[in-house]
Chain A
Amino acid sequence: MSFVLTCPHCGVREVADFAFGGEVSKRPQGEPSFRELNQYNYFRRNVAGVQREWWYHRSGCRSWFLADRDTRTNEVLRVGLPSELGERGDEATA
């Protein structure tokens, strides 16, 4: 893996500059059931295709942002801050 990623603040950088935060998932609201809690803690959709995920520009501006990445090709279609791309809710664009 050595693709490049575009940080919304810093621009294009090697992927090694970033920390991967996993696919976006919605934190349950209120009192989740045991099943909901386990679903949230332990299950991922693991999409073969475009998914929205968290990235952290660890070596640069130290900001978290969202990216729509094709997990098959590592092509990144879109990046943006949570305020621009919507909340971290289940807005996966698969």
Chain B
Amino acid sequence: MSLAFLTPDAVGDAVARSPMERLARAAGARIEVREGWNVATAYGDADAERRLLAEGVGFADRSNLLKLELQAEPATLAAVVEAASGGAHALEPGSAVRANGAWWCPVTPTRVLVLGDPEHAARIRLAVSDACADIAAAAAASATATATETVTVADLTSGLAALTLSGPASRELLARFCAIDVRPGATPVGAFRPGSVARTPGYLLREGEDRLLVLVGWALGHYLWTVVADAAEHLGGGPVGADALT
């Protein structure tokens, strides 16, 4: 795999860190290594975190999510996603599909962003590369294939920082720094919205009734945390650990 250097992969002492790690530590996070990542699992008081999520709003660093960018012509792309996610889906930009431990988010007809659970990252990567290999083999075997059509899988796991905003005030929190319309009618669960977040390019995924996933460039992760923490403080919200989300 010639693009292997894109995938966070280390042997020895190196540990993968979120761009928000220092801020999370400063906010009192307990850090544990999970799947090779330093993960902020909790902030001390589990009850308080649960209360935030149930009554107000909490935000959690999810930068360790698997992120793959798939590019191909629409039909090929659909075939890759079908094989890798284990089901056929209509890929409509704006609507994400939840399957096989990941959100499959069509950005354009020729580009899909895959957001996978860290614990399933290896499996999903393998499923995608197997799907690509199968399709390439089928194309090579087919007599009708006239030109080689490229399928590109770029691992952007450390290209996008991610925060989950969760709780009844999550939409209000988002509205403090993002102009995207997240009224339920405009942005139902599963809606995927590329657009400006906190004045910088980003993606928004409505993961659940009261749960929004926000992604921006990795180098802006620190900034995003600062913005969200600033807005959340005013709404009585705060950071929560990965364990509180499950």
User: A residues engaging B (CB < 8 A)?
Assistant: 9-14, 16-17, 57-63
Contact A9 B107 (CB under 8 A): yes
Chain A residue at smallest Cβ distance from B106:
A9
A59 to B202, CA, bound (A): 6
- Which residues on B are within 8 Å of A, measured CB to CB? 93-94, 107-109, 111, 179-181, 193-197, 200-202
Residue of A nearest to B111 (CB): A61
Nearest chain A CB to B171 CB, angstrom units = 18
Q: Which residue of B lies closest to A2 (CB)?
A: B179
Q: How far is the CA of A15 from the CA of B97 in the complex (A)?
A: 28
Contact status A13-B196, CB under 8 Å: yes
Rounded to whole Å, the gap between the CB of A78 and the closest CB of chain B is 18
CB distance from A81 to the nearest CB of B (A): 9
- Judged by DSSP, the binding face of B is strand
Interface of A is mostly: loop
Q: Smallest distance from the beta carbon of A75 to chain B beta carbons, Å?
A: 20
Q: How far is the CB of A82 from chain B (nearest CB, A)?
A: 13
Which residues of A are found within 8 Å of B196, using beta-carbon distances?
13-14, 16-17, 59-60
Nearest B residue to A57, CB-CB: B194
Question: Could you tell me if A59 and B201 are in contact, using CB atoms closer than 8 angstroms?
Answer: yes
What residues of A have a CB within 8 angstroms of the CB of B179 in the complex? 13-14
A17 touches B195 (CB 8 A): yes
Contacts of B201 in A (CB 8 A): 58-60, 62
**Docked-complex contact A59 and B200, CB < 8 angstroms:** yes
Taking CB atoms, residues of chain B closer than 8 Å to A63 are 108
The closest CB in chain A to the CB of B92 belongs to: A9
Chain A residues whose C-beta falls within 8 Å of the C-beta of B94 in the assembled complex: 9-11
CB-CB under 8 A for A9 and B108, given A59-B200, A59-B201: yes
* Chain A nearest Cβ from B15, distance in angstroms: 31
User: Which single member of B93, B109, B197, B200 contacts A10 (CB below 8 Å)?
Assistant: B93
Complex interface: chain A residues within 8 A of B111 (CB)? 61
Cα-based distance from A20 to B159 in the complex (angstroms) = 25
* Contacting pair A9 B93 (CB below 8 A): yes
Cα of A10 to Cα of B195 in the assembled complex, Å = 8
CA gap between A23 and B48 in the complex, in Å: 55
Q: 7 closest pairs, A vs B, by CB?
A: A60-B194, A59-B196, A59-B201, A9-B93, A60-B195, A17-B196, A61-B194
Closest to A4 in B: B179
How far is it, in angstroms, between the C-alpha of A36 and the C-alpha of B15 when the chains are bound?
57
B200 touches A61 (CB 8 A): no
Q: Which residue of A lies closest to B193 (CB)?
A: A10
Q: When chains A and B are docked, how far (Å) is the Cα of A63 from the Cα of B107? A: 10
- Tell me the complex Cα distance, A17–B199, Å: 8
